[in-house]
């Protein structure tokens, strides 16, 4: 009996509650020897605000699955938008994850760690005729994408030569153009019913200081171009996202298909995010409440932030227990509070 079979036999022994769909996927992967028996998850917040109870569910899920199956979890900051991200949020997120009782050990990463590699991958797509620089405004690009029931309109810059695209992309990197004047787009399919596959933007120009890289870069990768490749670099096996990213999965796979080898491949899986009645769960709206003085900071006890719940007197154990009791589902639902 191999180690994977022993793991499953141990887990199956005795009475226990039924598996959720993610546990079932992982156990099947272990049974078949996928990923050489590894389970490696990640929690990838953007440092643009404080974490709330919805993030606690994701934290407990990712760290909990790794703990259950003798795996590992990375803490990775998705810091690709310097206009919204601050070190204050980085520190608060680390504090909240630790307070909940989880430890990423030495596996602390930032998407900005991979900016050089991502740039090289973008150049690879250009050289293979799979990406191009578009000079149109974001409004025009959005209009040309159309709607799912109607084909999009191809950009007049879609068939630029490889040499011209490389020249423009290097000049974008060197800071020759103002914000919003050029973007790098993938050349995929402007007739796809999935809007995310209609030549998505990979890079945009932002002359803004980054909280870690300073002014080294003035072009920044989009989330979709960063997500799967970061998972690949870190050796993630099960990339667990909330349900709104399900429609992004074909793009996640497209980038990996075109950029990395096939000996190993992270996989994205989606679960329903936490929705509570009478509770503001949008970081953007929570930020408005804080900045406009309606509440006394991110740790105001009236807020559903983890720091607010902590100040209200909730214990880490109570939040972990709540996350466990509400379970993991594939369909959206709302919990009454």
The tens digit of pLDDT for each residue in 117-162 reads 999 999 999 999 999 999 999 999 999 999 999 999 999 999 999 9
Q: Let me know if 46 is a catalytic residue.
A: yes
**Residue 202: burial class (beta carbons within 10 Å; 0-12, 13-18, 19+):** buried
pLDDT attached to residue 94:
99
Residue 98 has pLDDT above 70, yes or no: yes
For β-strands 131-134 and 108-110, DSSP reports them as: unpaired
Given the residues 76, 145, 249, 283, the one annotated as active site: 283
Q: Is the dihedral of CA 287, 293, 294, 295 positive or negative?
A: positive
Q: Given strand 131-134, what is the order of strands in its sheet?
A: 131-134, 183-186, 201-205, 219-221
- Cα gap 80→38, rounded to integer Å: 28
- Cα gap 259→222, rounded to integer Å: 16
Q: Let me know if 130 is a catalytic residue.
A: no
Confidence of residue 14 (pLDDT cuts 50, 70, 90): very low
Q: Let me know if 273 is a catalytic residue.
A: yes
Residue 38 has pLDDT above 90, yes or no: yes
pLDDT tens sequence across 256-271: 999 998 889 999 999 9
Residue 30 has pLDDT above 70, yes or no: yes
Given the residues 7, 23, 34, 46, the one annotated as active site: 46
Q: Model's pTM, two decimal places? A: 0.92
Residue 13 has pLDDT above 60, yes or no: no
Confidence of residue 49 (pLDDT cuts 50, 70, 90): very high
Q: What are phi and psi of 176, to 5 degrees?
A: -80, -15
Over residues 285-298, the mean pLDDT reads 96
Given the residues 204, 273, 310, 320, the one annotated as active site: 273
Give the CATH architecture of domain 115-221. Alpha-Beta Complex (3.90)
- Cα gap 217→213, rounded to integer Å: 7
- Topology of 18-106+226-335 in CATH? Rossmann fold (3.40.50)
Instruction: Output the CA torsion 172→175→176→182 (10° steps).
Output: 40
Q: Given strand 72-77, what is the order of strands in its sheet?
A: 40-43, 72-77, 108-110
Mean pLDDT of the chain: 95
For β-strands 183-186 and 131-134, DSSP reports them as: antiparallel
Q: 305 has which bridge partners?
A: 52
pLDDT attached to residue 3:
61
Domain layout of the chain by residue ranges: 18-106+226-335, 115-221
- Cα gap 110→121, rounded to integer Å: 18
Confidence of residue 11 (pLDDT cuts 50, 70, 90): low
Confidence of residue 8 (pLDDT cuts 50, 70, 90): low
pLDDT attached to residue 332:
82
């Amino acid at each position: 009996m191999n180690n994977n079979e022993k793991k499953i036999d141990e887990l199956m022994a005795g009475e226990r509650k039924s598996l959720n769909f993610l546990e079932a996927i992982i156990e099947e992967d272990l049974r078949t020897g996928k990923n050489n028996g590894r389970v490696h998850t990640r929690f990838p917040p953007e440092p643009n605000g404080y974490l709330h109870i919805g993030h606690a569910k994701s934290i407990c899920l990712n760290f909990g699955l790794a703990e259950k199956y003798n795996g590992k979890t990375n803490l990775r900051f998705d810091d690709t938008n310097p206009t919204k991200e601050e070190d204050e949020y980085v520190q608060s997120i680390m504090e909240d994850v630790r307070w909940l009782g989880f430890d990423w050990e030495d596996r602390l990463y930032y998407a900005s760690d991979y900016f050089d590699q991502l740039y090289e991958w973008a150049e690879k797509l250009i050289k293979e005729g799979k990406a191009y620089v578009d000079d149109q405004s974001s409004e025009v690009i959005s209009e040309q994408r159309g709607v799912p029931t109607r084909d999009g309109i191809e950009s007049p810059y879609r068939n630029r030569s490889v040499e011209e695209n490389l020249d423009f992309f290097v000049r974008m990197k060197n800071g020759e153009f103002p914000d919003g004047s050029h973007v790098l787009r993938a050349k995929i399919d402007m007739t796809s019913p999935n809007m995310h596959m209609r030549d998505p933007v990979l890079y945009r120009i932002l002359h803004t200081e980054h909280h870690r890289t300073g002014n080294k870069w003035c072009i920044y990768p989009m989330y979709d171009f960063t997500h799967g490749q970061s998972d690949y670099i870190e050796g993630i096996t099960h990339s667990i996202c909330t349900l709104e990213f399900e429609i992004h999965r074909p793009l996640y796979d497209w980038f990996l298909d075109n950029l990395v080898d096939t000996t190993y491949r992270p996989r994205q899986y989606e679960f329903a995010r936490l929705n509570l009645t009478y509770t503001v769960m949008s970081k953007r709206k929570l930020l408005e409440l804080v900045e406009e003085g309606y509440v006394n900071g991110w740790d105001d006890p009236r807020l559903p932030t983890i720091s607010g719940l902590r100040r209200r007197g909730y214990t880490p154990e109570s939040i972990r227990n709540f996350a466990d009791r509400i379970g993991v589902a594939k369909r959206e639902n709302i919990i009454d509070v």
